[in-house]
Amino acid sequence: MFPKEKIDRINFLAKKSKNEGLSQEEKIEQKKLREEYLKNFRSNFRKQLDNIELVD
């Protein structure tokens, strides 16, 4: 599970980006957090797919 604090930070940076723009440091942080989130998502999704059994 991805920590709620990091999801909240991703959402905060997305809102700030739309409203007023991000500094260079915030853009780097946003990119890093998004990559980490996607890596976690893909891993969990792969585990779910690996656990699927087809029954005839």
**What number is the average pLDDT over the span 17-21?**
96
Indicate whether 53 belongs to any domain: no
Indicate whether 37 belongs to any domain: yes
Summarised one tens digit per residue, pLDDT across range 21-42 is: 999 999 999 999 999 999 999 9
* 3-state DSSP of 20-53: CCCCHHHHHHHHHHHHHHHHHHHHHHHHHHHCCC
| Contact call for residues 9 and 33 (beta carbons, < 8 A) | yes
Domains identified in the chain, total number: 1
The whole model's pTM is what?
Answer: 0.83
| Contact call for residues 12 and 26 (beta carbons, < 8 A) | no
Looking up tokens 């700030």, which residue turns up?
16
Range of the domain at 38: 1-10+21-47
